Chain A
Amino acid sequence: MTAGQQIERWRLALLSLAGTAVFFGSWQAVAGSGLVSKFVLPSPAEVIVAGVSMMSEPFAGDTIQGHVLASLGRWAAGFAIAAGIGIPTGLAMGHWRVLDAILSPIFEGYRYIAPLAWVPFAALWFGTGIGGPIMVIFTGAFAPCLLNAYRGAHQVERHLTEAARTLGAGGVRVMLEVLLPGALPSVISGLRVGAGLGWQSLIGAELIVVSSGIGYVLVQGQSNLAPEIVIAAMLAVGLVGLLIDVVLRSVESRIRRRWGQ
Chain B
Amino acid sequence: MSDIEFVSISKTFPRGGAVFTALDGVSLKIPDKEFVAIVGPSGCGKTTLMRMVAGLEAPSSGVVRVGGRAVNGPGADRAVVFQQFALFPWKTVRENIAFGLKCKGMSRAERDELALHFIDLMGLSGTEENYPHQLSGGMQQRVAIARSYAIEPEVLLMDEPFGSLDAQTRILMQEELIRISRVNPRTVLFITHAVEEAVYLADRVVVLARSPGRIVEIADTRPTRQAEGWDKVASEEVMEMPGFGHLRAHIWRLLRQQMQLPAREKNKDRKT
Contact = CB atoms under 8 A, between A and B. Distances in A.
A40 to B, nearest CB: 55
B103 A159 contact: no
A165 B77 CA distance: 11
Given A181-B88, A181-B90, A168 B82 contact: no
A175 to B, nearest CB: 13
Where chain B touches its partner, the secondary structure class is loop
Interface string A24-50: 000000000000000000000000000
Contacts of A258: 90
Interface string A152-175: 000001011011111111100100
A109 interface: no
Interface residues of B, number: 26
Contacts of A259: 89-90, 131, 133
Contact of A159 (B76, B84, B131): B84
B84 to A, nearest CB: 5
A164 B99 contact: yes
A166 B99 contact: no
B79 A260 contact: no
Contacts of A169: 99, 103
Interface string B190-232: 0000000000000000000000000000000000000000000
B103 A163 contact: no
B86 interface: yes
A22 to B, nearest CB: 46
Given A162-B80, A259-B131, A168 B86 contact: no
B59 interface: no
A166 B78 contact: yes
B134 A260 contact: yes
A168 B103 contact: yes
Contacts of A168: 75-76, 100, 103-104, 151
A177 interface: yes
Contacts of A159: 82, 84, 86
A181 B87 CA distance: 13
13 contacts: A162-B80, A163-B80, A163-B88, A165-B56, A165-B73, A166-B75, A167-B148, A168-B76, A168-B104, A170-B103, A178-B88, A182-B90, A259-B89
Interface of B: 54-56, 73-76, 78-80, 82, 84, 86, 88-90, 99-100, 103-104, 131, 133-134, 147-148, 151
Interface of A: 157, 159-160, 162-170, 173, 177-178, 181-182, 184, 258-260
